[in-house]
Structure 1
Amino acid sequence: MTATADVRPATPRRRPPERNVREHETVRDRLRHLRYRASPQQFFAELFEKRWMEPAIPLAILIAVIVFFSVAAPGFATSANLLSTAAELAEISLICLGMAVVMISGGIDLSVGSMFGLCNMIAILLITVVGLPVVPAILLTLVAGAVLGATNGTIVAYLKARPFLTTLVTLIIFRGVLNLLDLHYSAKTASVFVMDPVWDWFGTGKVAGLPFSFVTLLVVLVIGHIVLSRSRLGWHITAVGASRRAARHAGIRVERVLLISYVFAGALCALAGVFYAARLSSASARVGEGLELNVLTAVILGGISLTGGKGTVWRAFIGAATISLLGKGLLLMDVGGEVLQTVLAVVLIVAVGLDTKWGKNRGKAIQKTYVNPTLVEYGPLPDVRPGSGSPFEINDRLRDAEAIGLGEVEGPEDVIVDSQGRVYCGTRQGWILRFSGPDFSEREVFARIGGHPLGMAFDADENLIVCVGGMGLYSVSPDGKHRKLSDETNRTWVQLRDDSRLRMADDLDITPDGKVWFSEATTRFDMADWILDGVEGRPNGRLLCYDPVTGKTRTVIRDLVFPNGICSCHDGESLLIAQTWLCRILRYWHSGPNKGKLEIFMDNFPGYLDNINRASDGTYWVALNGMRSPAYDLAMRMPTFRRRMMKRIPRDEWLYPSMNHGCVVKVSDAGEVLEAYWDPGGEKHSTITSMREHNGYLYIGGLENNRIGRVELRAGRPEMATTERAGRPATVG
């Protein structure tokens, strides 16, 4: 939703629902709004951001190879050829997966071809010479492959040898052992006849029409994906590959991780050797000769980084499929082996160049297209000048505010007072501080949560419920122990972006039934870049509800423009929702006869709204974290201008909303402005984001402040105290 052009009054007042506000818009106005709302730029920006878009170039090359040979090579696209290719593809892919894991861990294994050939020979010898049954022979072959991999891993990890030289030497050693075995047993391994159903199943068996080896490959791919992306071991492998020193400092056992990587590679080479032996029923010294070059080409072609710390099993499979299909296609076109090697070299050079170029420019493309401005129109800017007679008239009521914790806090976005009169606030370091004593001079770290604690509220059991930017919704018990309540909600499946995780839980309040209602200001930007959401102006936020009974969080309202402050109304049946960039307050009924109704409560403020809290006399306090300006109002009506601004000038020179004033506004339950408290120029309280009334005082917090402000209220009843606990009346005498 966006602000509309027909909002005229200078003083905010109760407005009808937005759908009614737009009844008098012309068709041209609606088409103009739709044009910017439906911009394809956001789709492509989010598409490029997806991790599965990283192998876009290797995948495009694979598709090009398939299409080319389907047209140019006779018999390439036949089912018989594809089934035969699938069996061969499974073998080379298993070897590529082993190489990929080693490379992700920061190493390299040039001996994979020799291990493959040697394990092939071992499987044949165990069955023919030793006379073992097929199943034990296969298991022993896998163990032999793991031992060969462990040999490489031990030398690299524990003897600190260089992976390239180590595996080059073991390549020669393993190949020499293979030659000796072939020399002594060539007559028995040249052609083998094994009458065993398990052996036949490994060689020619099919599952749902697919070769058993290919089905096994798919299972290994799924397991490898889960291990690398979802398990502690996988995270450790990636961390070691990215930086061994950093991984060691993080407590990761680097040597063990490297050893496991090489063992994994050896076992996969052995599995590929078993499938090869069962398919051809033969073994020789030439098996796997020169294969390491093809495997290395395939893995690099798939986008596995030679420097380590980057890659997936699927990217290794894409590279293996490209090399395998390329070789099969050239063979069908009667192209010689020398030409094949030349083509592989050319493809490798081109693919690596394109993938490197894509990797560099993908980030730039996301950066230049991710922020996608839309049309936002405001009403006339209210007059705030001294002597104007406006309820927003500038004054200096906050200039003499008492400072609590001066220089001892950083970014107290929200402040709250408990039943004992102690003041709490979050800080940029991820702490929650508590100030107590007659003059609030006693400072203590109440809890260390992490992230950036934002909105806070006490529940009926005196637990402090906190929205933590980047982490979700947390609860802190009276003794300072914290626990996570929720960091996810139901996903919007029609969106490309996965919005199930909470990126920026902002403010909250607790209704009398104990449910926690909180806002996620934006699903597209993180805590460090929240201001970019204002440059964009799109409905990226939502209202959520956490039910402590079920422990579940659900999304109640989507497509809100930076929903910031959340306040449970005095009636106990509705909520006020501050929309920062629209300078507007919505009212949502969560219960009662109007349940589910959403309308505009107040509109056209002179500044950007933040938190809202109840006052002791049935009214509400509203924080303005920045003030509108004619220049920025104009810029918000010109999305094309903002888009050009982002592309042509550095980010630190962009036009941003004005955040150098401090203002708190008091409004009635009928949507009327009653009074305002200012700190002109923000000398002491700029970027005010919250305020709490307690025992005749107003406590002030700000995202960029180094203090908590405390000002005595000139009007009202000091004996009244606002409560922020669920299940209790809004005010007590």
Structure 2
Amino acid sequence: MTATVPRLRLGSRPPERNVPANETLVMKLRHLRRRIALQQVFAELFEKRWMEPAIPLALLIGVFVFFSATTPGFASQENLLSTSAELAELSLVCLGMAVVVISGGIDLSVGSMFGLCNMAVILLVTLSGLPVPVAIALGLLIGALLGSVNGSIVAYLKARPFLTTLVTLIIFRGVLNLLDLNYSAQTATVFVTDPVWEWFGTGKVAGIPFSFVTLIGVLIVGHIVLSRSRLGWHITAVGASRRAARHAGIRVERVLLISYVFSGLLCALAAIFYASRLSSASARVGEGMELTVLTAVILGGISLSGGKGTVWRAFIGAATISLLGKGLLLMNVGGEVFQTVLAAVLIVAVGLDLKWGKNRGKAIQKTYVNPTIVEYGELQDTRPGSGTRFEQNDRLVGAEAIGLGQVEGPEDVILDKQGRLYCGTRQGWILRFSGENFEHREIFARIGGHPLGLAFDAEENLVVCVAGMGLYAVTPQGEVRKLTDETNRNWLQLRDDSRLRLADDLDIAPDGKIYFSEATTRFEMADWILDGIEGRPNGRLLCYDPATGKTRTVIRNLVFPNGVCVSHDGKSLLIAQTWLCRILRFHIDGPDKGRLEVFMENFPGYLDNINRASDGAYWVALNGMRSPAYDLAMRMPTFRRRMMKRIPRDEWLYPSMNHGCVVKVSEQGEVLGTWWDPGGTAHATITSMREHGGYLYIGGLENNRIGRIKLDEAEPTASSSGRAVRSVAGSAAN
């Protein structure tokens, strides 16, 4: 069962402050308003790939509902069946145009190709005496040849698609006019009794026109080709960037030729259905069709810039235009009005496409981070001589530097039973130092990502939290294997949180289960600081069971859970919440199993890793210090939102990460001592510490060294690098 964090998790006042009842009510209402993150919902919606066709689909539904309510007979079965036949012909042409647009081109000659193929098929059936199947095959071949003319000029002669297809529009229309001039008497009305011809024109499958059934088949095949085949990937890549596609080894010219041939082929197929349904041809067939088709394609959400789009979007746009035309026709609105509406829709759609394509990333970036209220207790006095429990000292200033200049970003450090020192680096390596003074450095393993939390299991495998990748294990021989990179998804959220974005720290319970934190499910490692500016509960605690190989979410809605440490008795976990400056205790065994409570709060800085000390206490790392200005800013989400929108990112107000300290706390939550480097000269940031052999080893995410100081009160043989072990007496008592 997933535990629920107490209400004081976010935006709550510290319990020691006396607040009037009326102010408490106001604050509760204020916090409730901030928790309803509509801006965050919209940002996550716009980030979804399925959101782009959702708006055209909503428009399609709106058009259908409007005409169904206002126009008698619009939603009747007879009208829908007749509309589906016309829709199939328009949609086939739109699919061809869509493929061309996705490849980065445009085809203005689709109307002329449609009319010319219609005329050609009628002439082949009536004058040549060819069997209908042969005439249909020749009609498809003619469409492919017309498309190849466009494709050859655009691909191999490097002509502009707009001008090329505009010229071929005129040429194809001229040929159609010549044929109509010479054969108008024979093509005005055609009587063909062939069953194949009748099937193409009026045949039905389960009451549905054969043309519409064919359209569904073409849609399915087109979807598979575009999204699952190499050719489809090449078409999308060419549309996104021809230069990049050519550098990737894609034969750009061939891809462009295929896309235009496909457009001509579908125009011919649509013309065959049209010819068999109406059994007539004229020079007026297909006039203005390019405007209708282009409007439908853009209205469906296919960008004119190329590189993205699906066949389903083209179908949605075609259905919208088809229903709009049918509805206006039933309302006795003239064709001139329909053309005017189409032109207006095209202008608006093109404008929105260009504007949204250019500013989509900026809009998401400006709305994705949605700050909320975070309140802290009174800022602790850490000044030297203040006499407080967090009083600054210089106990870390003289720390010995290990691997100076040889490591970059050792976020966590750990030692094995042989006394060898391990750390991760931002290059994705696990380094191992050995020797009397750790003078020997070697790359123990190459994992990738950024290794963060470290822990040894019972078999001396090094278990690692890797930012952006998940949970990994490294054998004593240096072999890397993935343990998990996903967990069960929370279906109450729009965002798919099944993938692990920022696995942070871990510890291993006595039963072998690995508990680890994911600091945030909304931001990647490079943008982890944005989670602090937002201040929302985006993190969670997870558990990986090596026995079953399964990962489950234990606690959701934690504000940047960072350090994780199993207690000395193995019955609970300590969880550091960085931005709330407090530690939670979660009971994993015993009579309080499943209970979550506050262990310590109101630290003077931002917490990072937690580790066990050899004397039954705990070491806590503070990677930065609070300041009055930032505490005030965290109570003002509107200020932080305006800051992100109006000033450059390098001038934002960030949490202070220029120096930190190490705090030692007891099992009862009392501060036992502090170790400071006030100027940050030896260790600018402190994200972890590990006790071993009478020394304390210190790591930092932004440091280029590992620190070591002598602990006078520690046992020389003691170590905190191992797993928590429950005592025999404690186990027997349970």
TM-score normalized by the length of structure 2: 0.85
Of 561, 564, 576, 2:562 maps to 564
Report how far residue 627 of structure 1 moved. Answer: 1.2
In the other structure, the counterpart of 1:415 is 413
Report how far residue 580 of structure 1 moved. Answer: 0.9
SS of 1:680's equivalent in the other structure is coil
Report how far residue 674 of structure 1 moved. Answer: 2.0
- Is contact 2:154–2:161 with CA below 8 Å preserved after alignment? yes
Q: What is the distance in 1 between the residues matched to 2:637 and 2:367?
A: 13
Report how far residue 26 of structure 1 moved. Answer: 5.4
Q: What is the distance in 2 between the residues matched to 1:138 and 1:615?
A: 83
Of 500, 518, 521, 2:498 maps to 500
Q: How does 1:427-438 map onto structure 2 within 5 Å?
A: 427-438=425-436
Q: How does 1:386-405 map onto structure 2 within 5 Å?
A: 386-405=384-403
Relative distance call for 1:462 and 1:645 in structure 2 (3 A) is same
- Is contact 2:570–2:725 with CA below 8 Å preserved after alignment? no
In the other structure, the counterpart of 1:291 is 289
Q: How does 1:334-733 map onto structure 2 within 5 Å?
A: 334-359=332-357, 363-724=361-722
Report how far residue 610 of structure 1 moved. Answer: 1.0
Q: What is the distance in 2 between the residues matched to 1:667 and 1:74?
A: 77
Q: How does 1:144-163 map onto structure 2 within 5 Å?
A: 149=147, 152-153=150-151, 156-157=154-155, 160=158, 162-163=160-161
- Is contact 1:612–1:623 with CA below 8 Å preserved after alignment? yes
Report how far residue 242 of structure 1 moved. Answer: 1.7
SS of 1:51's equivalent in the other structure is coil
Of 10, 13, 33, 1:2 maps to 10
Bigger Cα displacement from structure 2, 697-706 vs 176-185: 176-185
Q: What is the distance in 1 between the residues matched to 2:626 and 2:520?
A: 20
Amino acid at match of 2:675: Y
Report how far residue 184 of structure 1 moved. Answer: 7.8
Higher relative contact order (CA 8 A, sep 6+): 1
Amino acid at match of 1:191: V
- Is contact 1:8–1:380 with CA below 8 Å preserved after alignment? no
In the other structure, the counterpart of 2:199 is 200
SS of 2:656's equivalent in the other structure is coil
Q: How does 1:298-337 map onto structure 2 within 5 Å?
A: 298-337=296-335
Relative distance call for 1:144 and 1:670 in structure 2 (3 A) is farther
SS of 2:687's equivalent in the other structure is strand
SS of 1:705's equivalent in the other structure is coil
Of 246, 249, 254, 2:247 maps to 249
SS of 1:539's equivalent in the other structure is coil
Report how far residue 31 of structure 1 moved. Answer: 3.8
Q: What is the distance in 2 between the residues matched to 1:467 and 1:160?
A: 51
- Is contact 1:377–1:637 with CA below 8 Å preserved after alignment? yes
Q: How does 1:262-277 map onto structure 2 within 5 Å?
A: 262-277=260-275
In the other structure, the counterpart of 2:5 is none
- Is contact 1:513–1:726 with CA below 8 Å preserved after alignment? no
Report how far residue 558 of structure 1 moved. Answer: 0.8
Bigger Cα displacement from structure 2, 546-555 vs 216-225: 216-225
- Is contact 1:3–1:582 with CA below 8 Å preserved after alignment? no
Q: What is the distance in 1 between the residues matched to 2:168 and 2:390?
A: 80
Relative distance call for 1:352 and 1:110 in structure 2 (3 A) is closer
Q: What is the distance in 1 between the residues matched to 2:440 and 2:139?
A: 69
SS of 2:598's equivalent in the other structure is strand
In the other structure, the counterpart of 1:16 is none
SS of 2:679's equivalent in the other structure is helix
- Is contact 1:7–1:378 with CA below 8 Å preserved after alignment? no
- Is contact 1:58–1:355 with CA below 8 Å preserved after alignment? no
Bigger Cα displacement from structure 2, 648-657 vs 54-63: 54-63
Amino acid at match of 2:368: Y
- Is contact 1:573–1:590 with CA below 8 Å preserved after alignment? yes
In the other structure, the counterpart of 2:38 is 40
Amino acid at match of 1:689: T
Q: What is the distance in 1 between the residues matched to 2:674 and 2:249?
A: 54
In the other structure, the counterpart of 1:101 is 99
Amino acid at match of 1:101: V
Bigger Cα displacement from structure 2, 107-116 vs 703-712: 107-116
Bigger Cα displacement from structure 2, 107-116 vs 292-301: 107-116
Relative distance call for 1:457 and 1:96 in structure 2 (3 A) is farther
Amino acid at match of 1:666: K
- Is contact 1:660–1:682 with CA below 8 Å preserved after alignment? yes
Amino acid at match of 1:626: G
Amino acid at match of 1:89: L
SS of 2:530's equivalent in the other structure is helix
Residues 588-638 of structure 1 deviation map (CA, whole Å, 9 limit, x = unaligned): 233444332222222221111111223333332211111122232233333
Relative distance call for 1:691 and 1:255 in structure 2 (3 A) is farther
Report how far residue 337 of structure 1 moved. Answer: 4.4
SS of 2:688's equivalent in the other structure is strand
Q: What is the distance in 2 between the residues matched to 1:433 and 1:495?
A: 39
Amino acid at match of 2:199: D
SS of 2:305's equivalent in the other structure is coil
Report how far residue 407 of structure 1 moved. Answer: 2.9
Q: How does 1:50-65 map onto structure 2 within 5 Å?
A: 50-54=48-52, 58=56, 62=60, 65=63
Amino acid at match of 2:204: G
- Is contact 1:125–1:189 with CA below 8 Å preserved after alignment? no
Report how far residue 118 of structure 1 moved. Answer: 5.6
Amino acid at match of 2:696: L
TM-score normalized by the length of structure 1: 0.85
Q: What is the distance in 2 between the residues matched to 1:270 and 1:168?
A: 19
Amino acid at match of 2:192: F
Relative distance call for 1:194 and 1:710 in structure 2 (3 A) is farther
Number of equivalenced pairs: 716
Q: What is the distance in 2 between the residues matched to 1:645 and 1:104?
A: 38
Q: What is the distance in 2 between the residues matched to 1:146 and 1:417?
A: 69
- Is contact 2:11–2:31 with CA below 8 Å preserved after alignment? no
Q: What is the distance in 2 between the residues matched to 1:215 and 1:86?
A: 10
Identity %: 77
SS of 1:682's equivalent in the other structure is coil
- Is contact 1:203–1:276 with CA below 8 Å preserved after alignment? no
Relative distance call for 1:416 and 1:344 in structure 2 (3 A) is same
Q: What is the distance in 1 between the residues matched to 2:439 and 2:280?
A: 84
SS of 1:722's equivalent in the other structure is coil
Q: What is the distance in 1 between the residues matched to 2:477 and 2:156?
A: 46
Relative distance call for 1:603 and 1:305 in structure 2 (3 A) is same
Residues 371-430 of structure 1 deviation map (CA, whole Å, 9 limit, x = unaligned): 322232322323322233333221122222222333333322223334444433333333
Relative distance call for 1:32 and 1:65 in structure 2 (3 A) is closer
In the other structure, the counterpart of 2:87 is 89
Bigger Cα displacement from structure 2, 44-53 vs 576-585: 44-53
Report how far residue 560 of structure 1 moved. Answer: 0.8
Report how far residue 559 of structure 1 moved. Answer: 0.8
SS of 1:425's equivalent in the other structure is strand
Amino acid at match of 1:491: R
Bigger Cα displacement from structure 2, 282-291 vs 300-309: 282-291
Q: What is the distance in 2 between the residues matched to 1:429 and 1:36?
A: 39
Of 99, 109, 112, 2:110 maps to 112
Relative distance call for 1:181 and 1:555 in structure 2 (3 A) is farther
In the other structure, the counterpart of 1:17 is none
Aligned Cα root-mean-square deviation (Å): 3.9
Bigger Cα displacement from structure 2, 616-625 vs 32-41: 32-41
